[in-house]
Amino acid sequence: MLGGEPVFWRSAPPVAEPVLYVHGVPNESGVWRAFLERTGGIAVDLPGFGRSTKRADRTFTIAEYDRFLEAFMDHVGLERTALVLHDWGAVALATAQRLPARFARLVIIDAVPLLPGYRWHRIARAWRTPVLGEALMGMSVKPVLRLITREANVTPGPLPDEELERIWAHFDQGTQRAILRLYRSSDPEVLAAAGADLDRLTCPALIVWGEQDPYLDPGFAHAYAARLPAGRAQVVPGAGHWPWLDRPGIIDDVAGFLAGTP
C-alpha cells in the first residue's frame, strides 16, 4: 500500500546499481520481465494499470504520475537509481527533471515525446475525442486488440500471445478510464512543457527506437538525444514500437549500458 492505495511492483536483485522500470500504455510491469532477469531492479504498475490502484477520483495526468513516482521511490528506498522507460513511461521524465541527482543513468525506449512538434497518432486522436474514445474502449475485445497490434511490431502478426494475454488480463474499465484521461490531458503543448528541463538530466542517456515504430517517429530519438547533454540515439532497423520483441538483442544493449559499458 502507498498512501492508502494498492500499488503492485515486481523486483529482482540488482546486478549492479538499482534500476527502476516504468511501463507505458497499455502495459503493466510484466512487460519488463526479460529485462529484470538480466539486470534486476524494480518494475512498478503505474496507477490505472495492472494491479495498482484504479480509483476513479484520480486525474491520471503527467503531474499526478510525477508525484506518484517520487513517493514510490521513497517508499521502496530508491535514493539513486537508473531509469528505463517505454512509451508513456515518459511520465517518469517529469520526476527526473525535478530530481536529477536521484538518477544515475537513463534509457528511453520509443517514448512519448516530451518535446515540441509531436502530434498524436490516429488511435490516440480517437481516444482523445469525447464519445468516440469511450465507444472505441467499449469495442475493445481481444480479437480487436490482436488486430490493432498487427502494426505495432515488424515481426509478422500481432504482438506475441504472452504479451497480448498480459495486456488483456488487466484491460478493465479502470485502465480504460486512465488511458482516456491521460491522453486527453496531454495536448502537444502540455507534452512540450513537460520536457522543458530535459537539459538538467546530465547523466549518461541511451535513447533506443524502433525504426518502424508506427506511432512515434524515430526522428524523436535524435530529438531526445539533442536535448540530453549526455544522450546517444540508437535507431534499430527492423523493429517496431516494442523494439526488443523484434530484436531481442536490445535487451543486451540496455543491460550493457546500465552496467556502464559505453
Residues 6+ apart with CB under 8 A from 213: 110, 239, 240, 241, 243
SS3 215: coil
Question: Residue range 20-29: average pLDDT?
Answer: 97
Q: In the prediction, which pLDDT does 126 show?
A: 92
What is the average pLDDT across 106-132?
Answer: 95
pTM for the model? 0.96
Mean pLDDT of 34-42: 97
The whole-angstrom separation of Cα 227 and Cα 204 is 12
- For residue 146, give the 3-state DSSP assignment: helix
Flag whether 2 is in a domain.
no
Cell of 225: 538525444
The pLDDT of residue 262 is 61
pLDDT number for residue 68: 98
Q: Determine the pLDDT at residue 157.
A: 78
The whole-angstrom separation of Cα 165 and Cα 162 is 5
Per the structure, the count of domains in the chain is: 1
Tell me whether residue 3 is in a domain. Answer: no
**What's the pLDDT at 177?**
97
Query: 86, 26 in Cβ contact below 8 A?
Result: no
pLDDT score for 161: 87
Give the chain's largest Cα–Cα span: 49
Span 18-25, mean pLDDT? Answer: 98
Domain annotation covers residue 248:
yes
pLDDT at 131: 95
Residue range 152-190, pLDDT digits in tens: 888 887 888 888 999 999 999 999 999 999 999 999 999
Helix (H) or strand (E) segment spanning residue 221: helix 219-227
- Segment 52-79 shows an average pLDDT of 97
What pLDDT does 239 receive?
96
pLDDT, position 231: 98
Flag whether pLDDT at 225 surpasses 90. yes
pLDDT score, position 14: 84
User: Is residue 139, in this structure, part of any structural domain at all?
Assistant: yes
Task: Enumerate the β-bridge partners of residue 9.
Answer: 44
Q: Which of the four pLDDT bands, split at 50, 70 and 90, describes residue 79?
A: very high
In a domain, 77, yes or no: yes
In a domain, 164, yes or no: yes
Q: Name the pairing type of β-strands 103-111 and 81-87.
A: parallel
Domain of 245, CATH number, reads: 3.40.50.1820
Examine residue 66 and state whether it is found in any structural domain, yes or no: yes
DSSP 6: -
- When pLDDT is cut at 50, 70 and 90, the band that residue 245 belongs to is very high
Residue type, 245: L
- Residue 156 DSSP one-character state: S
Q: At what angle do helices 91-98 and 62-76 cross, to 10 degrees?
A: 70
* Residue 94 lies in domain: 9-258
Judged by DSSP in three states, 193 sits in helix
Predicted confidence at residue 152, as pLDDT, reads: 87
Residue 209 in this model has a pLDDT that exceeds 90: yes
What pLDDT digit, counting tens, does each position of 44-63 carry? Answer: 999 999 999 999 999 999 99
Decide if 244 contacts 34 (C-beta within 8 A): yes
Mean pLDDT for the chain overall: 95
Per-residue pLDDT at 147 exceeds 90: no
Q: How far is CA 208 from CA 94, 158, 162, in A?
A: 19, 21, 23
Please indicate, yes or no, if residue 1 is contained in any of the structural domains: no
Average pLDDT of the segment spanning 193-200? 98
